[in-house]
Structure 1
Amino acid sequence: MTAAGNRHPRPSREELAAAAHRTLPDVVAPGLDVLFVGINPGLWSAATGWHFARPGNRFWPALHRGGFTPRLLHPGEQDQLPTLGLGITNMVARASARADELTAAELVDGARLLADKVGRYRPRWVAVVGVTAYRIGFGRPKAGFGPQPEPLGGARLWVLPNPSGLNAHFTPETLGAAFAELRTAVQA
């Protein structure tokens, strides 16, 4: 990145530890085309204030490869998303080092709060990035990737793979293809 304001700050070990349990503001506006729903903020995101900020997280490249952004955006440019009809929120607001630190009860509560938020902001589509969190939070143990049969707060619902670098089941290319499939559905 060329602009100094768009470089990833390198949080110290102390800053990362202090970020535990912090929350991030949503990037949201009424009537978005797609509201992307992360599982919860990681410590790097909580320390920087940017969604999907950890180097190695593949959300921003997948968003671009999928055709949602005209160029690869840096997490520090997240406030540009609503002008593209996109937003970001999380199922669980509190930050943690790993998503597997969340309890099932937190995911269920998060799904309920997400339904309220979707009803309030009325996006056309909601894309949950993480099938396991979706299955637990929404009580759909057999749910797979792609479109879901039930709407959420009036929005169409889609499940995408988790873009975390820890999710080795998906390459940058296959993640981009999964995002592109959603993009095709949004444009239809």
Structure 2
Amino acid sequence: MPASRRPTREELDAATGSTMPDLIGPGLRVLFCGINPSLYSVVVGYHFARPGNRFWPTMHQSGFTPRQLLPSEQGALLGFGLGITNVVDRATATADQLDDSELRTGAKSLEAKVRRHRPRFLAVLGVGAYRTAFARPKAKLGLQPETLGNTRLWVLPNPSGLNAHYQLPDLARLFAQLRHAADEG
């Protein structure tokens, strides 16, 4: 689908339950982990593609990318040692359509993926999803005390435009903290 054309309602409805391929390669500094793909992203074929999602501006403003990438340029992330996956593979209209058991099952699958690919950091984008998926009800944003093998865990706010608690400058500041940690080692 051309990037300039918005998906139709029929295309979005047909994408319910579909999956999206991960963007993963060897030697990742950070593997960013969304909650699950949006219907919009599945239809257009790019992560965090829904208009209003602040992932791409945040990546640039936090210093992870030298310029603001378009969702269609997501492959460039691998060159920066960055990748994208999700806790749950199933696309929904909103993340609140996932139940707790689905998040917990997704965490097990994610753990296996992280152990296989061994990124330095796994950054889960959504503290509520992290708390539920990993059974850490008191988890806070930032570096977590637990690891998955040698991979350190970091929790960041969800960059969805639906998350009104964090504005773009807040997101950029919090993502930059992870970038500094990933740059150090």
CA distance in 1, matches of 2:17, 2:10: 14
46, 56, 60: which one aligns with 1:50: 46
Query: Which of the numbers 56, 61, 66 marks the counterpart of 2:57?
Result: 61
RMSD: 1.1
Q: Identify the residue that residue 12 of structure 2 maps to in structure 1.
A: 16
Q: 1:138-157 counterparts in 2 under 5 A?
A: 138-157=134-153
Segments of 5+ residues of structure 1 without an aligned counterpart are none
Q: Quick one: distance in 2 between partners of 1:69 and 1:176? A: 12
Deviation at 1:6, TM superposition (A): 7.5
Q: Contact 2:105/2:133 (CA < 8 Å) preserved in 1?
A: yes
- Number of residue pairs matched? 184
1:27 matched to 2:23? yes
Instruction: Give 1:8 deviation, angstroms.
Output: 4.0
For residues 6 and 156 of structure 1, do their structure 2 counterparts lie closer, same or farther at Cα, with a shift above 3 Å needed? farther
Match of 1:99 in 2: 95
* Amino acid aligned to 1:122: R
**Distance verdict in 2 for CA 1:29–1:160, change over 3 Å:** same
1:180 maps to which residue?
A: 176
Gaps of 5+ in 2: none
Give the C-alpha shift of residue 135 in structure 1.
0.2
Instruction: Tell me the CA shift for residue 18 of structure 1.
Output: 0.7
Percent of aligned positions that are identical: 59
Partner of 1:75: 71
How far off is 1:80 after superposition?
1.1
Conserved? CA contact 1:122–1:154, under 8 Å: yes
